[in-house]
Amino acid sequence: MSNPLYDRLFAPLAVRPGTFLHLDDGSALSGPEFLSMAHRAAAALRVLGVRPGDRVAMQVAKTPQALAIYGATVATGAVLLPLNTAYTASEVESFVADATPRVLLVDPGRLDTLSPVAGRHGTTLATLGADGGGSFRELCEAQSADAAIESRVEGDLAALLYTSGTTGRSKGAMLSHGNLLSNAQTLADAWRFTPADVLLHALPIFHTHGLFVACNVSLLSGAAMIFQPGFDLDALLKALPRATVLMGVPTFYTRLLDDVRFDRDLVAHMRLFVSGSAPLLAETHLAFEARTGHRILERYGMTETNMNTSNPYSGERRAGTVGMPLPGVEVVVTDPASGVPLPAGETGMVEVRGPNVFGGYWNLPEKTREELRDDGFFITGDLGRFDDDGYLVLVGRQKDLIITGGFNVYPKEVELLLDEQPGVLESAVVGVPHPDFGEAVFAVLVEKPGERIDRDAIDAMLRERLARYKQPKGIELVDALPRNTMGKVQKNLLRTQFCDRFA
Ligand code: AMP
């Protein structure tokens, strides 16, 4: 009998010494305690009818019990389908209709709204609250902790993760035991995780970053986690002295830098800060180093592929780049039209192949064929180039590329210039419909608190630094850029908001 993810990530908890999860209320869970929780949850899932290959959806708060459900799905050979807690009932219904999970776990407060959804799709509903209570907990308590472990092979599905859909419809990425395990091993090695590590975990666990990068690496390497229910600046600052590693999205780092309590002494003992899921501004990278003496390690990955590239653990962590391909992962930059590989320095489509790359999109064979080549390369939709030293620089999503009057404009090039201007906190550049040019370059700016943006100075700078077709034809100030929970700017919303600007 073997079960790749169970054997490597969960079984070792039975004999792990010390604490596995530190919780904000001061309590803690040892490895064996957590494993018993996962085993009881596995038995409870079986009572609810879950069999190998069945999907188990959950839209629940981040708790140890929720993480134990991940272990339970692995043990029962089921496929975990975690859902963003912000999704509305109708969004949840679209995922339930697509994935037809056997079980849907929800917060008790959403029972009334989601019961009809579950009913329409033949899904069994159970509840799990932010305090760990609910019908699922009661069912778990009635089960024994000696769960039988289902046999699985590396190619068997372990998770169905829907993409965040910032550039289009969410698609269910099918991730196997082998995909997740190989990437966990690669990252644990690359980032030198050991049982002495304590990962400060403040990311959500419905996304690949918090669930797989953070939890799988900790489980595999024997590291402990300070498991926080979400991002809370005060709680994060309080926990930092007990942590050795922080994994965050760029907004974690900008918020920490905005707080005077975040200083060199507070993090002098830290081993590693990792950033990903959205671009970390070079300015943030440099400001972080100036404040703390640490260089943030930026990495690049996505739901479909797990992690692809990383700045080196030892070696130069280069601001504004996402580092080099991870061992075992091939990354090429190709001509988007022909698919032919391009030399270093030229910008094109980032394609990725390796044991980390998913098997396809659930129920979408055509979409899978469009994006996953026969030779195994996945066309990521990200545009980038390798610099002369082999570091990958991302310039944006292909769907964000602006084609104005037949010329290509990479939003990032314009954004980087705007971000440097006095008074500019951040910027987003999008293409909006234009009667003459097809699309027009349009910039959205946010002011730094207490400062003013000088529009004339910005116009003059743009005229001097950018070819005319790259210069924004309109600039708008907003209070904040729309972002999803992973800190990604939702350019689709900006394009909609400003779509009739030149109509
Ligand atoms: P998701 O599937 O939600 O993880 O989103 C994946 C996308 O996030 C990638 O295709 C990139 O566009 C973006 N992304 C992830 N990491 C980075 C990074 N370090 N810098 C810039 N973009 C990133």
Q: Which residues contact 213 (CB under 8 A, 6 or more apart)?
A: 183, 187, 247, 274, 276, 301, 306, 307
pTM value is: 0.91
CA neighbor of 6 nearest in space, from 186, 158, 212, 141: 158
Which atom of ligand 1 lies closest to the CA of 397?
Answer: 12
Q: Is 173 in the pocket of ligand 1 (CB under 6 A)?
A: no
Q: Is the pLDDT of residue 258 over 90?
A: yes
Q: Whose CA is nearest to atom 10 of ligand 1?
A: 302
Q: Is the pLDDT of residue 166 over 70?
A: no
Q: Is 145 in the pocket of ligand 1 (CB under 6 A)?
A: no
Domains of the chain: 4-152 (3.40.50.12780), 191-295 (3.40.50.980), 401-497 (3.30.300.30)
Percent of the chain with pLDDT over 70: 99
Question: Do residues 102 and 124 make contact, with C-beta atoms less than 8 angstroms apart?
Answer: yes
CA of 382 to the centre of ligand 1 (A): 8
Q: Is 170 in the pocket of ligand 1 (CB under 6 A)?
A: no
Long-range contacts of 188-193 (CB under 8 A, 24+ apart): 188/217, 188/220, 188/221, 189/327, 190/310, 190/313, 190/326, 190/327, 191/217, 191/245, 191/272, 191/274, 191/297, 191/310, 191/313, 192/272, 192/313, 193/217, 193/218, 193/220, 193/221, 193/223, 193/245
Q: Is 41 in the pocket of ligand 1 (CB under 6 A)?
A: no
CA of 276 to the centre of ligand 1 (A): 7
Q: Is the pLDDT of residue 376 over 70?
A: yes
Q: Is 278 in the pocket of ligand 1 (CB under 6 A)?
A: yes
CA of 313 to the centre of ligand 1 (A): 20
Q: Is 397 in the pocket of ligand 1 (CB under 6 A)?
A: yes
Q: Is 164 in the pocket of ligand 1 (CB under 6 A)?
A: yes
Q: Is 300 in the pocket of ligand 1 (CB under 6 A)?
A: yes
Q: Is 322 in the pocket of ligand 1 (CB under 6 A)?
A: yes
Q: Is the pLDDT of residue 167 over 60?
A: no
Q: Is the pLDDT of residue 268 over 60?
A: yes
CA of 67 to the centre of ligand 1 (A): 23
Helix or strand or coil: residue 115? helix
CA of 68 to the centre of ligand 1 (A): 27
Q: Whose CA is nearest to atom 6 of ligand 1?
A: 302
Distances in whole angstroms, Cα of residue 17 to Cα of each of 75, 222, 382? 22, 9, 42
Percent of the chain with pLDDT over 90: 88
pLDDT on residue 295: 98
Round to whole Å and give the CA distance between 489 and 249. Answer: 12
CA of 42 to the centre of ligand 1 (A): 32
Q: Is the pLDDT of residue 179 over 60?
A: yes
Pocket test for ligand 1, best of 296, 302, 326 (most atoms within 8 A of CB): 302
CA neighbor of 226 nearest in space, from 60, 466, 27, 477: 27
Residue type, 316: E
Mean pLDDT, residues 413-424 taken together: 94
Which atom of ligand 1 lies closest to the CA of 164?
Answer: 3
pLDDT band for position 242 (cuts 50, 70, 90): very high
Which atom of ligand 1 lies closest to the CA of 163?
Answer: 2
Mean pLDDT, residues 377-399 taken together: 94
Round to whole Å and give the CA distance between 467 and 470. Answer: 5
86-118 pLDDT, tens digit per residue, is: 888 988 999 999 999 999 999 999 999 999 999
Pocket test for ligand 1, best of 382, 416, 489, 491 (most atoms within 8 A of CB): 382
CA of 50 to the centre of ligand 1 (A): 33
CA of 2 to the centre of ligand 1 (A): 33
CA of 418 to the centre of ligand 1 (A): 21
Round to whole Å and give the CA distance between 282 and 290. Answer: 12
